[in-house]
Amino acid sequence: MQVGLIVDSACDLPPEFSRKHNIFILPVTAVINGQTYIDEHDPLKTQEFYQRGLLQKGYYAETRAYSPKQIHSLFMRKIVPQFDMAICETVARSRSLIYDNANEAMNTVMARYEGVRAAAGKDGRFSMRVIDSKQIFAGQGLLAAHTLGLIEKKLHKNALRHEVETFSDSILTCVIPRDLHYIRERARRRGDNSVSALVAFMGKALSITPVLFGKGTDAQPVAKTWSFESAVEKVMNYAAARVDAGLKTPYVSLSCGMSWPEIDALPGLDLLREACERNGVELLLSQMGITSSIYIGPGSLCLALAAEPHNFNDFQ
């Protein structure tokens, strides 16, 4: 049975990793200063966005989930003829309509796939599951990487879904927003009150760089620093120590909303690389995608790993 994995473009993964494992990217529409772009995680287009500075005014941008009709069309053309079963993992349902729209599209696909399968010369039934990852950015990427390992075990579809949903609760993310003015303005324009805890933590001192830590969208401020570099060093020290202590999956996912020279110069990155190599862990290092960067702001960083429950400061 051929099983395909679908993620949306809020999921940050290295492009070469996605290509190697034939991960299908469900696009997201981005509207920036009135111009429409389709984010398909094309690395060249992403690099162009950074070079042209298109994301610097991201609080004037909006992202739009593909409609159920658009998703239905993509699934029928790209997924049904190729796979016998598909797992679609979406960005956290609380942050986007992608889950709801993909779920609606799945229902119409399941009612109409037989003719498409027959035309493609595929025998047997087709099945599909849409799963709320409960994650964002690098966290969603980590879940996708772990899911590939579960698919290789050839679990029954119900067991596979259960394992994915259970594992998601073990994922912990660290987020460092580069510009709190950006976060505040984006929230104001969207009417989003979810950043109230961050604003309360920072008060009026928007020059402070916070470290947010927790499960998926429930991350809370756990440290405040006076520079982005200091915040990055804290996160790298934490991640390296946590890797040495043991993980639930042999991956660490790290996405950065900056150019590759800036990424390579991040303080503590070599320390994390060495810890991963020492422990047989693959570091999934990627440039933050267009969708992710619009949401959290260019220059930001997101790291995810899966481990037993612990506190951020336990590994400083």
Whether residue 290 is predicted with pLDDT greater than 70 in this model: the reply is: yes
Domain final residue pick, 138, 153, 168: 168
Average the pLDDT over 40-46 and give the result.
84
Nearest to 172 by CA among 1, 23, 307: 307
| Of the candidate ranges 41-55, 109-123, 215-229, the one whose mean pLDDT is the lowest | 41-55
pLDDT tier for residue 178 given thresholds of 50, 70 and 90: confident
- CATH code of residue 189: 3.30.1180.10
Q: How far apart are CA 300 and CA 310, in angstroms?
A: 24
Whether residue 220 is predicted with pLDDT greater than 90 in this model: the reply is: no
Whether residue 81 is predicted with pLDDT greater than 90 in this model: the reply is: yes
Both 11 and 158 in a single domain? yes
Q: Quote the mean pLDDT of the chain.
A: 90
Q: Is 208:180 a contact under the CB 8 Å cutoff? A: yes
Domain final residue pick, 168, 192, 212: 168
Q: What proportion of the chain, given as a percentage, has pLDDT over 70? A: 91
Both 160 and 181 in a single domain? no
Q: Which position has the higher pLDDT, 295 or 72?
A: 72
Whether residue 79 is predicted with pLDDT greater than 70 in this model: the reply is: yes
Q: How far apart are CA 70 and CA 66, in angstroms?
A: 6
Whether pTM > 0.75 for this model: the answer is yes
| Residue 286 in tokens | 């990627």
Q: Which position has the higher pLDDT, 259 or 106?
A: 106
Both 287 and 220 in a single domain? yes
Both 101 and 33 in a single domain? yes
Average the pLDDT over 129-135 and give the result.
96
Q: Which position has the higher pLDDT, 304 or 39?
A: 304
Whether residue 263 is predicted with pLDDT greater than 90 in this model: the reply is: yes
Both 80 and 141 in a single domain? yes
For helices 157-168 and 138-152, give the axis angle rounded to 10 degrees: 150
Both 146 and 200 in a single domain? no
> pLDDT value at position 193?
57
Q: How far apart are CA 120 and CA 123, in angstroms?
A: 9
Q: Which position has the higher pLDDT, 123 or 142?
A: 142
Both 176 and 311 in a single domain? yes
Q: Is 29 helix (H, G, I), strand (E, B) or coil?
A: strand
Q: Which position has the higher pLDDT, 52 or 259?
A: 259
Both 180 and 259 in a single domain? yes
Q: How far apart are CA 270 and CA 184, in angstroms?
A: 32
Domain membership of residue 139 as a residue range: 3-168
Domain count across the chain: 2
> pLDDT value at position 139?
97
> pLDDT value at position 57?
58
pLDDT tier for residue 203 given thresholds of 50, 70 and 90: very low
pLDDT tens digits along 269-283? 999 999 999 999 999
> pLDDT value at position 42?
85
> pLDDT value at position 241?
98
> pLDDT value at position 200?
47
> pLDDT value at position 61?
77
| Residue 154 in tokens | 């050839």
CB crowding 151-166: b at 16 or more within 10 Å, else e:
beeeeeeeebbebbbe
pLDDT tier for residue 1 given thresholds of 50, 70 and 90: confident
- H or E element that contains 187: helix 180-190
Both 191 and 148 in a single domain? no
CA 64 from chain center: how many Å? 16
Average the pLDDT over 205-231 and give the result.
86
Both 21 and 163 in a single domain? yes
Average the pLDDT over 8-32 and give the result.
94
Q: How far apart are CA 108 and CA 102, in angstroms?
A: 10
Q: Is 136:217 a contact under the CB 8 Å cutoff? A: yes
Q: How far apart are CA 133 and CA 180, in angstroms?
A: 26
Q: Is 183:143 a contact under the CB 8 Å cutoff? A: no
Q: How far apart are CA 48 and CA 256, in angstroms?
A: 15
Average the pLDDT over 168-183 and give the result.
88
